[in-house]
């Protein structure tokens, strides 16, 4: 009862937002979807007509673009949802991925006084007390946070990222609405559909709540700084921890040029080909050396400093790869080069990415066709982005379920290829990728790598052997007390039980019919009455009729497959 009251209260509080969502859906031509929401949450759509000119305009706009425009109008949470969906080409079509990548996250900045109060709440003092200077006009403003330039007391310039006041509450409310909409959508999906909207929303909720926690971004930044401490081609900004909190991140201010400003870079003497190579190396080291990577390495998240040094900026979205994930990536790369499908299939099965709906023969056929398209080409001529894009189509059509971070990694490699080719049109990421994959494979067969694997195996065996006496004693104790049970689950056992039950019932009715026929035949040939009320012959006829009725009923039930 309490849960029901909470749901009713929550829905009532969200009615205004539902109305806004429906009006935006209608505005961009998704009237059917708006109607479903209206019926589910008992919200009126209104009676305003839809102009003919507007219908004609929408007819000339692709559904993917209309989805992107609707998300931009629905605000911060839906923009973030779209941005995160754009990293999942294993779940949504390529044209929608391309549109969602264009989502704009520029919004009106908060008032200076509001920001001053937020800094005081987060750090315990106003900005003029903490810093030598504080620029009230932000240098960047997005839906979750905005960035201000400050100068520390020791004179060093810094960038202060400040979370928008109240944004966490807004996002949590929006996430509740998204959960309701996902449950509604899931109920309307066809059986066998592999996409689970509720699971997607839960994953999105976890990702966006991590992103609004700037203390988590600070830890990510510090880990990147440690990983690239000895790399002179990458400069990760320094963190000023005394000016950080859950809602504020203060870091070194970076002076540089955006990688997208190619003409300016060339005019000022930068080597754009070297910058492209360093950008690719920056990502590949993360994937194969650290298993910890920046999930969105687009040009807007970098500055290029003097000496062609790359400075990454936003660390809110990161992924983590297990060693099996990296081994699968190595298998994919080497399979593209060698045309060996078996290596990929083994990797997918080993990683448990295939479900019951996957037809291995069809999957092998599609993979062979894909690899045959590229295996005869020189390494430098293989279009990596196109190959991975076609791979995502196979993933969707064959119900393959890769881990989220593995998909993010593939999307990350596609993004860095676009980054690099924007600087050097002749750049081929697969030429850079293959040495990393080979080196990763060779490390696993080095004596030191083999020893590490044997060491882990020996440790696991030792722990198992150490626990064995206790586990065996516990099992024997339960056997002595009569508490030892073995639970066996057969996937289709209930169906077998029903089939046996139906068969036994039908057999029982057949025996009853046979008995009635035999008994009636004996009675019809006899003279006399039963208790002076009915002749034996009449009783036999009644037996025949009863047997006939039961027989017809049994025959019909067998033909219709009815269960007793």
Which positions are catalytic? Answer: 296
Neighbours of 229 (CB within 10 A): 9
CA angle 349, 416, 82 (to 5 degrees): 75
The per-type count for the chain, helices as H runs and strands as E runs, is 23, 11
Say whether 195 sits in a helix, a strand or coil: coil
Residue bearing tokens 């998909």: 407
Of 335, 329, 368, residue with least CA distance to 350: 329
Question: Bridge partners of 478?
Answer: none
- 462 φ, ψ (degrees, to nearest 5): -65, -45
Distances (CA, A) of 462 to 453, 465, 470: 14, 5, 14
DSSP 110: P
Alpha carbon distance 299, 313 (integer Å): 10
Across 264-303, b (16+ Cβ under 10 Å) vs e yields ebeeeebebeebbbbbbbbbbbbbbeebbbbbbbbbebbb
- 412 φ, ψ (degrees, to nearest 5): -60, -40
DSSP 286: I
Question: Bridge partners of 311?
Answer: 303
Distances (CA, A) of 301 to 46, 257, 314: 43, 11, 6
Question: Bridge partners of 207?
Answer: none
How many Å is the Cα radius of gyration of the chain? 34
Question: Bridge partners of 305?
Answer: 309
First to last CA, the chain: 38
List for the chain the helix, strand, coil content (%; round to 5). Answer: 65, 10, 30
Q: Detail the DSSP E strand segments found in 483-545.
A: 529-530, 534-535
Sign of torsion, CA 69 73 76 81? negative
Q: Which two tokens stand for residue 297?
A: 């390495």
Alpha carbon distance 540, 524 (integer Å): 5
- 245 φ, ψ (degrees, to nearest 5): -155, -170
Q: What is the largest CA-CA distance in the chain?
A: 125
Alpha carbon distance 17, 274 (integer Å): 49
Residue bearing tokens 């909207």: 197
Check: CB of residue 149 under 8 Å from CB of residue 159: yes
């Amino acid at each position: 009862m309490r849960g029901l009251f909470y749901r009713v209260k929550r829905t009532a509080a969200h009615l205004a937002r539902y109305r806004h969502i429906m009006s935006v859906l209608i505005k961009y031509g998704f009237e059917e979807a708006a109607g479903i929401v209206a019926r589910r949450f008992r919200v009126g759509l209104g009676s305003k007509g839809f102009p003919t000119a507007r219908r004609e305009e929408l007819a000339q706009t692709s559904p993917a673009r209309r989805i992107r425009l609707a998300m931009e109008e629905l605000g911060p949470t839906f923009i973030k949802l779209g941005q995160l969906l754009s990293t999942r080409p294993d779940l949504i079509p390529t044209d929608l991925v391309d549109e969602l990548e264009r989502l704009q996250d520029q919004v009106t900045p908060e008032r200076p006084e509001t920001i001053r109060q937020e800094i005081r709440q987060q750090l315990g003092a106003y900005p003029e007390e903490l810093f030598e200077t504080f620029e009230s006009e932000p240098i960047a403003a997005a839906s979750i946070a905005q960035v201000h330039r400050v100068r520390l007391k020791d004179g060093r310039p810094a960038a202060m990222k400040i979370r928008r006041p109240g944004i966490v509450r807004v996002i949590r409310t929006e996430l509740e609405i998204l959960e309701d909409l996902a449950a509604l959508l899931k109920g309307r999906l066809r059986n066998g559909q592999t996409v689970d909207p509720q699971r997607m929303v839960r994953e999105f909720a976890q990702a966006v709540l991590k992103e609004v926690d700037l203390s988590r971004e600070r830890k990510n930044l510090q880990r990147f700084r440690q990983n690239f401490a000895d790399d002179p081609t990458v400069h990760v900004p320094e963190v000023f921890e005394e000016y950080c909190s859950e809602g504020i991140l203060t870091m070194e201010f970076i002076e540089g040029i955006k990688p997208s400003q190619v003409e300016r870079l060339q005019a000022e003497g930068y080597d754009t080909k070297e910058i492209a190579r360093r950008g690719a190396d920056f990502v590949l080291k993360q994937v194969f050396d650290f298993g910890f990577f920046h999930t969105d390495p687009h040009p807007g998240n970098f500055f290029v400093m003097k000496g062609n040094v790359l400075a990454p900026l936003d660390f809110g979205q990161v992924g983590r790869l297990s060693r099996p994930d990296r081994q699968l990536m190595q298998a994919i790369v080497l399979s593209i080069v060698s045309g060996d499908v078996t290596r990929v299939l083994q990797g997918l099965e080993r990683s448990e990415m295939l479900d019951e709906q996957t037809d291995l023969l069809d999957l092998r056929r599609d993979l062979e066709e894909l690899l045959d398209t590229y295996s005869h080409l020189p390494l430098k001529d293989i279009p990596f982005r196109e190959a991975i894009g076609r791979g995502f189509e196979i993933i969707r059509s064959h119900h393959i379920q890769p881990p989220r971070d593995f998909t993010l990694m593939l999307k990350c490699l596609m993004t860095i290829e676009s980054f690099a080719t924007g600087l050097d049109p002749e750049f081929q990421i697969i030429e850079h990728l293959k040495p990393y994959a080979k080196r990763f494979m060779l490390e696993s067969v080095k004596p030191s790598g083999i020893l590490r694997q044997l060491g882990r195996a020996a440790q696991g065996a030792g722990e198992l052997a150490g626990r064995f006496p206790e586990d065996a004693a516990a099992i024997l104790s339960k056997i002595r007390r009569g508490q030892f049970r073995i639970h066996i689950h057969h996937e289709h056992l209930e169906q077998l039980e029903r089939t046996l039950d139906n068969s036994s019932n039908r057999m029982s009715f057949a025996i009853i019919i046979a008995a009635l026929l035999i008994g009636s035949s004996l009675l019809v040939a006899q003279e006399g009455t039963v208790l002076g009320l009915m002749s034996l012959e009449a009783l036999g006829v009644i037996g025949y009729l009863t047997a006939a009725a039961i027989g017809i009923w049994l025959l019909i039930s067998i033909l219709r497959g009815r269960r007793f």
